[in-house]
Structure 1
Amino acid sequence: METDLSFFRSESAQRLRAEGREQGLAEAREQGLVQGVVLSVLTVLTSRGIELSAGQRKLLTDTTDIDQLDAWVLQAVTATRADELFG
Structure 2
Amino acid sequence: MSTTGTSKYKSEYARGYEAHGKAEALVMILEARGLMLSEGNRARILECTDQDELDIWLKQAAFVAVADDLFR
Instruction: Give your verdict on TM over 0.5.
Output: yes
More helix as a share of residues: 1
Secondary structure at 2:35's aligned position in 1? Answer: coil
Q: Distance in 2 between matches of 1:50 and 1:77?
A: 11
From 20, 24, 32, the equivalent of 1:35 is: 20
Q: Distance in 2 between matches of 1:77 and 1:33?
A: 20
Q: Which has the larger radius of gyration?
A: 1
Instruction: Specify every segment of 5 or more residues in structure 2 that has no aligned partner in the other structure, as ranges.
Output: 1-9
Number of residue pairs the alignment of both structures matches: 63
Identity of aligned residues (%): 33
Question: Structure 1 length normalisation: TM-score?
Answer: 0.67
CA RMSD of aligned residues (A): 1.3
What amino acid does structure 1 have at the position aligned with 2:33?
R
TM-score, normalized by length of structure 2?
0.79
Give yes or no for the alignment of 1:69 onto 2:54. Answer: yes
Any runs of at least 4 consecutive aligned residues in structure 1 with deviations exceeding 3 A, and if so which? none
